[in-house]
Amino acid sequence: MIRVKAAFFSFTPPAAPDDDGSYLRWHLLDHMPEQYQLPGIQLALRYIADGEYLTSRIASSGHLEEVGNVVNYLVGDPVQQTHDDFMQLGRRLAELGRFPEVRPSLQLRMPALLRWSGAPQALVSAEVVPFRPHRGVVVIVEEPLSDDVGAWLQWLHTEHYPALLSTPGTAGAWMYGSTSTWNLHPVTQGDPQYTTVVYLDDDPLEVTRALTPVLEERWRTGAVRPLFAGPLRTMIQWEAWRGRALPGR
């Protein structure tokens, strides 16, 4: 039984050229951990696209051309309360002086989890793939071009995902879609989208190159069009603690 029902996806631009890493340290060591006080937060993940990652995208358009960071919170029951509390937590932390910098937002959404798949080589259940350490992801955001995408979704299930997950270096893929199941804050709403996260065990740039012809097949039918598809690397590094005094030191 899968605990995750939905996810927050926050897309922001790359850090400023003069960024000294203080924002990353604050977000990883202060802000992201605070989200776990919310009743349904199952996991908090952050990814970055910089350097060659920015030029290795398969597709990007509109405001998502500027994506440099993706923050992903996995949400379980109670979903509605978690959504409502999430929208209030930032304001509360700011009042406490715990929200020193607000990065410009490109998009914030909370879609519902639609399907989850694990690669045979990952040797774990599909339900736990995001909880398993991984080196990065390919994030795909797609816009449906008609109300009838049933055949496309069926093709994803029967043909596309088996081909994708047989590619060396992949660990699994989770797919989300826009929903009216919950009463969402206006900032998390927008035109219908599908968001897919492909979890990667090997170098994200190398795996993305291998996946590109497979992923491009998603758009040949004309059922959807890509708004963003590209690799990002995991953000968790020991360097996050640089410059912070440790207890007893």
pLDDT of residue 81 exceeding 60, the answer is yes
pLDDT of residue 241 exceeding 80, the answer is no
Q: Are 25 and 240 in contact (CB under 8 A)?
A: yes
What is the reported pLDDT for 15?
A: 81
Would you place residue 50 in the very low, low, confident or very high pLDDT band (cuts 50, 70, 90)? very high
> Considering the chain, what percentage of its residues have pLDDT values greater than 90?
77
Instruction: Tell me the CA distances in angstroms from 86 to 38, 95, 111, one per residue in order.
Output: 7, 15, 14
> Considering the chain, what percentage of its residues have pLDDT values greater than 70?
94
| Strand ranges in 119-205 using DSSP code E only, listed in sequence order | 136-144, 170-177, 194-200
pLDDT of residue 215 exceeding 50, the answer is yes
| Distance (Å, whole) CA 28 – CA 23 | 9
The residue ranges of every structural domain in the chain are 4-238
The identity of residue 134, as a single letter, is: H
Beta bridge partners of 118: 172
What is the reported pLDDT for 236?
A: 67
Average pLDDT on 73-94 reads 92
What own/partner pairs with CB < 8 Å and gap ≥ 24 does 2-5 have? 2/113, 2/116, 2/127, 3/42, 3/76, 3/77, 3/127, 4/42, 4/43, 4/74, 4/75, 4/76, 4/113, 4/116, 4/130, 5/40, 5/75, 5/76, 5/77, 5/79, 5/112, 5/113
pLDDT of residue 247 exceeding 50, the answer is no
For 10-33, the pLDDT digits (tens) are 999 988 777 778 888 888 888 899
Q: How many residues does the chain have?
A: 249
Write down the mean pLDDT value for the chain: 91
Q: Are 112 and 176 in contact (CB under 8 A)?
A: yes
pLDDT of residue 125 exceeding 60, the answer is yes
Would you place residue 248 in the very low, low, confident or very high pLDDT band (cuts 50, 70, 90)? very low
For 139-181, the pLDDT digits (tens) are 999 999 988 999 999 999 999 999 999 999 999 999 999 999 9
Q: Are 208 and 230 in contact (CB under 8 A)?
A: yes
| Distance (Å, whole) CA 44 – CA 236 | 11
Average pLDDT on 205-233 reads 97
Domain 4-238 has CATH 3.30.70.100: yes
Average pLDDT on 224-241 reads 82
